Amino acid sequence: MGKITRRALLSGAAQAAAAGTLLGHAPARATARAVAPAAAGTPACDLDRYVIWDAHGHLYSADTPPAEQMASLLRAADRMHIERVVVFMGYPWVYDPEPDEVRRQNDQVLEAIESSDGRALGFVYLNPKHTQESLDELDRCVRDGPMVGIKLWVSIRCHDPCLDPIAVRAAELNAPILQHTWSKITGNLPGESMAEDVAALAARNPATTFIAAHAGGDWETGIRAIRGTPNVTAEICGGDPTAGIVEMAVRELGAQRVIYGSDFRGRSFASQLAKVVGADIPEESKRLILAGNLQRMLAR
Ligand SMILES: [Zn+2]
């Protein structure tokens, strides 16, 4: 850290100009946004002042051994001061995998996390269309294995009653369920859940902890959709680092219901961390979002 980048320099200079300091006099009245960042040449944020756990990441290759993929991910995580990463789903990605394929992919993740010196946490990938096989796989990887949560993707919309037995077992095992959520203007995949689908499942299963990944994609509607179900936390990964997402999530849900994730390697650590460290929210809220909330969730 501490390296002066062109971007930091330019952004510092622009802010100093906006605040009037380049002309050698302090502004009579500055807005909070104009005075918040540091002076020219100083990076706007030192990530090493935070503990950072990344709640959302993936393996990325069918050909590279999982341990090698993990080593590469951790090298990148080190550069951004990310202490721990959550990993789920193997490779290749299959929209509606059969139980055998699900097991094969979870084996890849098991191999990856075992090679991580405790820095990677695994969530078991399930296809809830196959309810009994999902319960068996949950037992194999979480009850009898090292994994600590559940990942559901796009095989079936999660408001379907066939998910209820999985939600019940998840609560018994204290395993949070992370569900991909997105609302696409071009139309969703047939089994792709939206934030309101998680809200419906969570309302039927109040003892289970849910994470709405991507905050619904279309986050302004997604955050509102989960507002009334306190057992759903918004996770902010994916998409561009649009200003306002974390501010709105904190305002509508409270900082305790917002979690940082990146969706690596589909998205960069830096672009997704920027949503949190650049947000106009209290430092204490940033600490909860970057690690505290996930730590509390998994400590159970
Ligand atoms: Zn993802």
Residue 149, domain CATH: 3.20.20.140
Residues 68 and 195 in one domain: yes
Closest CA to 191 of 201, 180, 200, 202: 180
Q: For residue 18, report the distance from its CA to the centre of ligand 1, in Å.
A: 38
**Is the model's pLDDT at 8 over the cut of 60?**
no
pLDDT tens-digit series, residues 79-136 = 999 999 999 999 998 999 999 999 999 999 999 999 999 999 999 999 999 999 999 9
The residue among 224, 222, 236 whose CA lies nearest residue 276 is 236
Q: How far is the CA of 56 from the centre of ligand 1 (A)?
A: 6
Predicted pLDDT at 5: 41
Facing residues of 125 across strands?
151
d(CA 273, CA 55): 12
- Residue 42 is predicted with a pLDDT of 52
Ligand 1 centroid to residue 63 C-alpha, Å: 19
- 299 alpha carbon to ligand 1 midpoint, in Å? 23
Same domain, 140 and 219: yes
* Co-location of 129 and 160 in the same domain: yes
According to DSSP, the residues that pair with 211 across neighbouring strands are 178, 233
Cα(117) to ligand 1 centroid in Å equals 23
Q: Are residues 20 and 62 in the same domain?
A: no
How many structural domains comprise the chain?
2
Same domain, 3 and 146: no
**Res 9: pLDDT:** 37
pLDDT at 21: 34
CA 60 to ligand 1 center in whole angstroms: 11
Span 58-68, average pLDDT: 94
pLDDT of 148 above 90: yes
- Please report where in the chains the tokens 């946004």 appear, as a residue: 33
Distance CA 182, CA 25 (A): 48
Does residue 18 sit in the same domain as residue 102? no
Q: What is the pLDDT of residues 209-251, one digit of tens each?
A: 999 999 999 999 999 999 999 999 999 999 889 999 999 999 9
| 15 and 160 in a common domain | no
pLDDT band at 22 (very low <50, low <70, confident <90, very high): very low
Q: Quick one: 56 and 5 in the same domain?
A: no
Average pLDDT of 279-298? 98
Binning the chain into helix, strand and coil, the percentages to the nearest 5 are 45, 10, 40
Least confident of 41-45, 99-103, 146-150, 222-226: 41-45
| Sign for the pseudo-dihedral over CA of 57, 60, 64, 65 | positive
Report residue 300's pLDDT band, with 50, 70 and 90 as the boundaries: confident
Beta strand extents in 177-297 (DSSP E only): 177-180, 210-213, 232-235, 258-259
Single out the residue of 201, 197, 191, 150 nearest to residue 172, CA to CA.
150
Residues with CB in 5 Å of ion ligand 1: 263
pLDDT in tens, 160-206: 999 999 999 999 999 999 999 999 999 999 999 999 999 999 999 99
pTM: 0.85
CA–centroid distance, residue 264 to ligand 1 (Å): 7
Contact 130, 99 (CB under 8 A): yes
For residue 263, report the distance from its CA to the centre of ligand 1, in Å.
5
180 in the same domain as 220: yes
| Mean pLDDT value across residues 57-78 | 95
Same domain, yes or no, for 21 and 67?
no
Q: What pLDDT score does 18 carry?
A: 37
Same domain, 35 and 74: no
Written as six digits, the tokens of 168 are 């019940």
Confidence of residue 36 (pLDDT cuts 50, 70, 90): very low
Q: Mind listing the pLDDT tens digit for each residue in 249-288? A: 999 999 999 999 999 999 999 999 999 999 999 999 999 9
Beta bridge partners of 52: 82
The whole domain housing 34 covers 1-44
Residues 195, 208, single domain; the answer is yes
